[in-house]
């Protein structure tokens, strides 16, 4: 029997979800730079050309994959205990965010990659549907953190004049700092003309991100 338009749409959405899931799996296994379209197609069991029927470019697919990461991060942030005080909620929320970055280094690659260009440029490059899903996913992550800051500011506990700006700034700052955990090494000042390195513990970076978030709003 001929398939209805609704059946075709559902099949298309299922195929898109399979492609994005396969892309994320390869990102988690290899990292952003080592997941070519050919391998993604092979993981889904389709021809590479079919991927471009669903996603006009590799960038569209990567943005859709970032959205999948953000959806999971938002779910974790919803687990912050509402009965904690403002400082406790902020510490718990930022700890969950930093832990997610530790668990999924490829998320760092994807999220930082999105920040390579102005939002207006990215907006012109991706379709409306992907752009809206990305915006909703980011809002679901940053919104709860901004709400914690706003509630603490309203009660005079946290020193925040613009919760939305501060939440976005700390979100971006944490991405950059957590990349130190991915690198695993720092650079020492040159001694006798020879630079040196030292090992950086990932948990130390994680704890520093939480401490930075607290310090940024006046919590010692």
Q: Quick one: 44 and 91 in the same domain?
A: no
User: How far lies 1's CA from each of 7, 14, 39, in Å?
Assistant: 12, 20, 34
pLDDT at 8: 63
CA–CA separation, 77 and 8 (whole Å): 35
Q: Quick one: 181 and 75 in the same domain?
A: yes
Name the domain count of the chain.
2
Q: Give tens-digit pLDDT for 110-163.
A: 888 888 889 899 888 888 988 999 999 999 999 999 999 999 999 999 999 999
Q: Quick one: 39 and 77 in the same domain?
A: no
CB-based contact 188:198 (threshold 8 Å) = yes
Q: Quick one: 121 and 37 in the same domain?
A: no
Among the three residues 16, 32, 54, which one is the final residue of a domain in this structure? Answer: 54
Q: How many CB atoms lie within 10 A of CB 39?
A: 16
Domain with residue 24: its CATH number is 1.10.10.60
CA–CA separation, 166 and 168 (whole Å): 5
Q: How many CB atoms lie within 10 A of CB 15?
A: 16
Q: Quick one: 112 and 132 in the same domain?
A: yes
- Spans of the chain below 50 pLDDT: 1
Distance of CA 71 to the CA centre of its chain: 9
Q: Which domain holds residue 161?
A: 58-216
Q: Quick one: 182 and 205 in the same domain?
A: yes
Q: Quick one: 111 and 30 in the same domain?
A: no
Q: Quick one: 124 and 198 in the same domain?
A: yes
Q: Quick one: 86 and 74 in the same domain?
A: yes
Q: Quick one: 105 and 152 in the same domain?
A: yes
CB-based contact 70:141 (threshold 8 Å) = yes
Looking at the chain, how many residues does it have?
A: 220
CA–CA separation, 193 and 116 (whole Å): 33
pLDDT at 205: 96
pLDDT at 150: 97
Which residue is associated with the tokens 């700092």? 177
Q: Quick one: 8 and 107 in the same domain?
A: no
CB-based contact 32:113 (threshold 8 Å) = yes
CA–CA separation, 36 and 59 (whole Å): 12
CA–CA separation, 117 and 121 (whole Å): 6
pLDDT at 95: 97
Q: Quick one: 21 and 75 in the same domain?
A: no
Burial 79-95, CB ≥16 within 10 A → b, else e: ebeeeeebbebbbbbbb
């Amino acid at each position: 029997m001929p398939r209805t338009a609704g059946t075709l749409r559902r099949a298309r959405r299922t195929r898109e979800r399979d492609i994005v899931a396969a892309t994320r799996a390869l990102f988690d296994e290899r990292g952003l730079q080592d997941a070519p379209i050919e391998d993604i197609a092979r993981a889904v069991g389709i021809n590479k050309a079919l991927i471009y029927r669903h996603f006009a470019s590799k960038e569209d697919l990567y943005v859709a994959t970032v959205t999948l990461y953000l959806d999971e991060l938002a779910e974790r942030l919803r687990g912050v205990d509402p009965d904690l005080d403002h400082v406790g909620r902020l510490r718990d929320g930022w700890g969950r965010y930093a832990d997610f970055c530790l668990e999924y280094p490829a998320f760092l690659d994807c999220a930082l990659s999105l920040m390579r260009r102005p939002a207006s440029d990215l907006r012109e490059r991706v379709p409306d549907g992907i752009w809206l899903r990305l915006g909703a996913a980011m809002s679901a992550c940053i919104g709860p953190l901004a709400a914690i800051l706003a509630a603490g500011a309203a009660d005079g506990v946290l020193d925040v004049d613009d919760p939305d700006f501060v939440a976005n700034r700390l979100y971006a700052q944490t991405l950059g700092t957590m990349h130190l955990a991915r690198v695993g090494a720092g650079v020492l000042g040159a001694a006798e003309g020879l630079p040196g390195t030292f090992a950086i513990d990932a948990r130390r970076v994680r704890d520093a991100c939480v401490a930075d978030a607290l310090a940024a709003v006046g919590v010692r």
